[in-house]
Structure 1
Amino acid sequence: MMSNKMKLTVGVGIVLVSLFAFAISISAHGYVNEPKSRALLCAEGANYSCGSVIYEPQSLEAPGNFPEGGPADGRIASADIFHELDEQTSDRWAKVPITSGPFTFEWSLTAAHATDKWDYYITKENWNPNEPLKRSDFEKFCTVDDNGERPPFTVNHDCDIPERTGYHVILAYWEVADTANAFYNVIDVNFDGDYVEPGNPGDPEEPNPGEPPVWKENQVYLGGDRVTYDGSVYEAKWWTRNEIPGEANVWEFIRNVATSNQENSQSSFDSPLVFFNF
């Protein structure tokens, strides 16, 4: 029979192996930096009003098996996480110059992962740039199979980009091999033209000028992020998702929106202090 000491050793070993496997499964992240993805341009400040993706452009992870699976139409750009990325108009996002023909895409991986394949899609010639991105907008033009191999931290793929003119969106898709997930990067490109600055996105959900945006379900928030919910302003203490302000301990009540204008009309010394979590 196994002694208690042996049982403890085996149990600890199982826990450590499980934790190691879990750490590997959640550590795979990456983004396209050539041409620069929508999320990367957010992190670099070229795109604005992007939400929390500015802190982690490598984390656009969602269920794989695209296009049969994956995020719903209208949520593809955000991987159903950073929903600001799903906003879609002809001038919402910065556009990087590109030409049709041979092109080398480059990914930067913050953590490599055993990989099934890499797919590249581009919007069809008759797509509508003023509607949310959907599956039927895209056609695949390049596939690279990795057959379960673990890639290096810099990955290059040689593809032939189809003929297009003007503004289009490229979807770069990384399907990992040992989980059911994949990574989604959209790239806003301007064919045979120059770099194009983004337009003014605005924020129709902002309750009052100067107030934080409305809390969104499934949105990732980091420590220090502020939101408006049910007439009040809350600040996240740490990373959170789907935890409702006013109900979850991760959110700290700051003030009521209804009284904020009155407070702001008083001396600036009465303004609430902003605390940052590091």
Structure 2
Amino acid sequence: MRSKKKIAALVGAVIAPVIAVSLPAGSASAHGYISNPPSRQAQCAAGTVDCGDITYEPQSVEGPKGLTSCSGGNSRFSELDDDSKGWAVTPVNSSQEFKWTLTAQHNTTTWQYFVGGQKIAEFDDGGAKPGATVTHQVDFGSLKGKQKVLAVWNVADTANAFYACIDVNVG
């Protein structure tokens, strides 16, 4: 009886890893954020500003398309909506490059940039899958001074988008 238990345990130990490797992978819980200039979630991850859960998940600010909040409507990341939190403001020119760091790539419809509720730029990817980083050159036009930019990554195959706010001083 004892040897049957040992054999069963040995077979289980050999088969379990094979089964685990052959199962389909689940969807990733990580996605993307603006890394340069540093978005609010990038500042949280870097420890520039004291934050909650977003410190460990800067890439996870996801919510339904069409929102206008830095948190993407996610209450776990509500500190991103707090304009008085002491966010570092990055000096930028009237045309600035914004770099997304993507930890999971999704087919994309558009990338949008807003200031004060007004869209200042949109880049149409037509459903293409981006690489690990995406960079856009955004023109601020006549905007000057301190601005909060809301950047939105609209995913093509879901009802969701990813959100990032970046505090800049347009000089």
Pairwise CA distance, 1:143: 0.7
- Residues 48-67 of structure 1 mapped to structure 2, 5 A cutoff: 48=50, 50-64=51-65, 66=66
2:48 matched to 1:46?
A: yes
Q: Which residue of 1 aligns with 2:115?
A: 122
Pairwise CA distance, 1:27: 4.2
Q: Which residue of 2 aligns with 1:127?
A: none
Retained in 1: the 8 A contact 2:99–2:133? yes
The 1:147/1:172 distance shift into structure 2, 3 A limit, reads: same
CA RMSD in angstroms comes to 1.8
User: What secondary structure sits across from 2:103 in the alignment?
Assistant: strand
User: What secondary structure sits across from 1:111 in the alignment?
Assistant: coil
> Residue type of the partner of 1:55?
Y
User: What secondary structure sits across from 2:96 in the alignment?
Assistant: strand
2:127 matched to 1:148?
A: yes
2:72 matched to 1:93?
A: no
User: What secondary structure sits across from 2:73 in the alignment?
Assistant: coil
Retained in 1: the 8 A contact 2:30–2:57? no
User: What secondary structure sits across from 2:45 in the alignment?
Assistant: helix
> How big is each residue's C-alpha offset from its partner over 1:171-216, in whole Å with a ceiling of 9 and x where there is no partner?
1100000111000100011222xxxxxxxxxxxxxxxxxxxxxxxx
Retained in 2: the 8 A contact 1:28–1:113? no
Distance 1:80 1:142 in 2: 22
TM-score with structure 2 setting the length: 0.79
Distance 1:94 1:159 in 2: 20
TM-score with structure 1 setting the length: 0.50
Distance 1:27 1:177 in 2: 17
Identity %: 44
Match of 2:138 among 143, 159, 162: 159
Pairwise CA distance, 1:92: 2.8
Structure 1 gaps of 5+ residues are 1-15, 124-137, 193-278
Q: Which residue of 2 aligns with 1:253?
A: none
> Residue type of the partner of 1:60?
V
> Residue type of the partner of 2:112?
D
Higher RCO by CA contacts (8 Å cutoff, separation 6 or greater): 2
Distance 2:79 2:135 in 1: 28
Choose 1 or 2 for highest CA Rg. Answer: 1
Distance 1:113 1:27 in 2: 12
Retained in 1: the 8 A contact 2:32–2:100? yes
Retained in 1: the 8 A contact 2:110–2:122? yes
Structure 2 gaps of 5+ residues are 1-22
Greater share of residues in strand: 2
Retained in 1: the 8 A contact 2:29–2:60? no
